[in-house]
Structure 1
């Protein structure tokens, strides 16, 4: 499995992690496209090579293209991400990161998560950092991620609410269960950086056994003598024990509802998915005295459960929610892109023991390709399925290696960073 280990021993911020992933070979074009899909024409991501205490690194800068960007609340960011035409993986990860940020800020300030105005976190540059990091991980085809001990800093820093002690309350909330240390003056880790690490990483661990493919260093703004202000990533194939699979522990929420206008249910399910639910569904039942009703079931994680319960109470007429902790066993998965009528469609490949179990076109990609090409969705779905077979994605065959997937993903190289990628070999028509 392709793995990324994050070295945050000097701290981490959103732009530092983004710079490290770009330095490791993620496509700047892919990152910019994802950001534009969320905040079109608002920011431009620019990269440059810098040194920090004598060490070379990539600095990712977010240049504003609009004046006076607004503060945004969690509801607004949910809608923006929900409406954006981005790969489902990028949407899911970005929603999860912002959801953790909202929960942390809510606990720190004693307000409901839905009412959190992110201030620094919700500004355009931080939206670009979160979406950019999620898009970069998808472009690098990372399947698992872990990180080491995080340096948080010390002293005080001025924020929108005034001068506060380092680490700030949001960073403290986001650090629960993680190995951290002070290790230097000033704010070494931002809420955005800590949310990205603790949301997307499956484990806090020292550098695991891996076959290293590439690495990258992302620079912070300050250049501190004797202390490289860098976040590093190491990318490769994990060769030791795998990191714990994300979401092994799940939470199931249930509620019986017999007095809700059925026209409202599609919006309820959409709101739950937008709030970070892994799945949400309805089942018709007959309650006491024969009354017709629905059982609403929501699958989430222990971290998202409080937010999902809030959505259920706000969006339905129920006054009670049942919550059960479950153990999930999910097959690992990866993605391969195919080309259908000039449109990219992602193929989700689940695998076990190094062999493909199932290869399924992502239907949101199919629907988008159908709309843009003018072809019926049923035809695009059939073409994508055929292209997957032509690419050798059939049950029982070996899972494509990271190297072969890099060959298949033509046009993802970011040559501005000086990373050379192999030219594609001839392959079946319809595979990109």
Structure 2
């Protein structure tokens, strides 16, 4: 709804499933950590209280995969919605079946869970189809933590079915230190089935953002963000105008891992190589500081900042490439600006420019503009110019392009 899909459209199309007497669909604006988002409620009209993993009570009947497939194929839904929904439920049943050692066809979804899952899955597919989405990209997913009560007893989070779904697509995951169930089997099945790719966002021209709210209040905004735009290269629109979307649950504050180690017995020539290997492995930043160590020996404090999912690989590099005997790591939150790479034309050639901005009211306010070092250096070498001169030329070109009134 926050991205523009009418609630009335979803409600009308979902009636085709023939289960509208089992639930009521509602939406409302809510705040999560001060951010406005849309909360969609699937209010189940049963005596049982809903829980993602609740055990069925005696009065509930089970729906097997074949029952759900029949509901979907006879509901008069758009063909793309039917294909997506069937694939998601098939993947969900296969994951549950693998966990419990049974065929997917024999996995049962009790009445409450099946109703909720049908509305969530088919409703998601209806929304994406209504928006005309061509490709779906998804960020790495948070593992969560703690335990949850399920039909077969108390399970660790992430629950086995979620892990099995992640394994099926080699989904990149990370821990943000929150001990709650952050990804349910239904959510994992949707992402694993529909996502073209997991990881960094694709180059795109951003048209619209939708914020969907979770139920719980967490240490970070419990919001799922939907980015909708068109494929682009360095901010320049490509031919074809294919609509793409990005599901991303990172807020303006993101979780990073900080890795530190002190070294006093390593050839300094190695440090440059270690920097290169760490950056190639996905480190966000690497730096050193001069320190005094035991027995008054001069040394360095080597610090690596990386995404949580890159922690292990960065630690492995430090142990392999340096003489360290121990590494500290801890998790922190960092606030980041939105960044976009644009290209400007100078009389010596094109230069990429990194433009950083932050939300200001209804617009994004430019906070920083910096030409890329390597592009400036290449032109400076080719034309025997100073790097500072090329840097200033690129800045002037960007400001002229974005402020037509300038001479």
TM-score for the superposition, normalised by structure 2: 0.52
Alpha-carbon distance, 1:118 to partner: 2.4
SS of 1:51's equivalent? strand
1:44 aligns with 2:24: yes
For residues 325-376 of structure 1, the C-alpha deviation after alignment (integer angstroms, 9 at most, x for no partner) is xxxxxxxxxxxxxxxxxxxxxxxxxxxxxxxxxxxxxxxxxxxxxxxxxxxx
Where does residue 168 of structure 1 map in the other structure? 159
1:117 aligns with 2:111: no
For residues 304-334 of structure 1, the C-alpha deviation after alignment (integer angstroms, 9 at most, x for no partner) is xxxxxxxxxxxxxxxxxxxxxxxxxxxxxxx
Where does residue 6 of structure 2 map in the other structure? 27
What is the alpha-carbon distance in structure 1 between the residues aligned to residue 213 and residue 111 of structure 2? 19
Q: CA RMSD in A?
A: 2.1
Which structure's relative contact order is higher, taking Cα pairs within 8 Å and 6+ residues apart?
1
1:228 aligns with 2:208: no
Where does residue 72 of structure 1 map in the other structure? 63
Q: Which has the higher strand share?
A: 2
Where does residue 179 of structure 1 map in the other structure? 172
Where does residue 97 of structure 2 map in the other structure? 106
SS of 2:77's equivalent? coil
What is the alpha-carbon distance in structure 2 between the residues aligned to residue 193 and residue 205 of structure 1? 17
Moved more, 39-48 or 152-161: 39-48
SS of 2:216's equivalent? coil
Alignment gaps of 5+ in structure 1: 1-21, 246-432
- After superposition, residues 327-366 of structure 1 pair within 5 angstroms as none
What is the alpha-carbon distance in structure 1 between the residues aligned to residue 84 and residue 138 of structure 2? 17
TM-score for the superposition, normalised by structure 1: 0.49
What is the alpha-carbon distance in structure 1 between the residues aligned to residue 112 and residue 97 of structure 2? 13
- After superposition, residues 48-59 of structure 1 pair within 5 angstroms as 48-59=28-39
SS of 1:118's equivalent? strand
Instruction: Say if 1:239 and 1:120 are closer, same or farther in 2 by CA, change over 3 A.
Output: farther
Alpha-carbon distance, 1:121 to partner: 8.1
SS of 2:207's equivalent? strand
What is the alpha-carbon distance in structure 1 between the residues aligned to residue 209 and residue 110 of structure 2? 32
What is the alpha-carbon distance in structure 2 between the residues aligned to residue 55 and residue 175 of structure 1? 29
1:215 aligns with 2:194: no
SS of 1:186's equivalent? coil
Where does residue 192 of structure 2 map in the other structure? 198
What is the alpha-carbon distance in structure 2 between the residues aligned to residue 187 and residue 119 of structure 1? 20
Rg larger in structure:
2
What is the alpha-carbon distance in structure 2 between the residues aligned to residue 195 and residue 73 of structure 1? 17
Q: 1:87 aligns with which of 78, 86, 91?
A: 78
Alignment gaps of 5+ in structure 2: 49-59, 245-407
For residues 157-208 of structure 1, the C-alpha deviation after alignment (integer angstroms, 9 at most, x for no partner) is 1112211001111000110111012322110100000110110111112121
What is the alpha-carbon distance in structure 1 between the residues aligned to residue 99 and residue 13 of structure 2? 30
What is the alpha-carbon distance in structure 1 between the residues aligned to residue 38 and residue 228 of structure 2? 16
What is the alpha-carbon distance in structure 1 between the residues aligned to residue 207 and residue 34 of structure 2? 24
What is the alpha-carbon distance in structure 1 between the residues aligned to residue 132 and residue 10 of structure 2? 13
